[in-house]
Amino acid sequence: MSALVSIHEAAEAELNETADFYDRVSIGLGAEFIKEIWRAIENIKQFPEASPLIRDRVRKKTLMRFPYSLIYSIRPGEIRILAVAHQKRRPFYWRDRG
């Protein structure tokens, strides 16, 4: 599937804030986090329905190295990243993002 990937602006902010946090922990770790995000997005693009459904059309792709997940929905011709969510904090806080 070669769907367009779009990122909700709040998810983009979460991505940037988390990368900044990891860079404060250790220089270069934020870049590693972003690389892991892009690897996950490439995997989602190849196998969009492989990640488990967590609500209606919404799926969760767990990152391998960091305690975060990509929350996304599949629409005709588009994969929409709704959140870059920490796995242990505020479940379903993103549910109003369309």
In a domain? residue 10? yes
- Which structural domain range is residue 19 located in? 4-86
In a domain? residue 22? yes
pLDDT digits (tens, 9 = 90+) for 3-47: 799 999 999 999 999 999 999 999 999 999 999 999 999 999 999
Structurally, the chain folds into a number of domains equal to 1
pLDDT digits (tens, 9 = 90+) for 54-86: 988 899 999 999 999 999 999 889 999 999 999
Residue in 68, 61, 62 with CA at minimum distance from that of residue 19: 68
Q: What is the CA radius of gyration of the chain?
A: 13
In a domain? residue 9? yes
In whole angstroms, give the CA distance from residue 28 to residue 22. Answer: 8
In a domain? residue 78? yes
Backbone angles phi, psi at 62, to 5 degrees: -80, 135
pLDDT exceeds cutoff 80 at 97: no
Return the pLDDT at 78: 93
H helix intervals, 1-98? 9-25, 29-46
The angle at the Cα of 39, spanning 34 to 40, to the nearest 5 degrees, equals: 95
CATH number for the domain harbouring residue 9: 3.30.2310.20
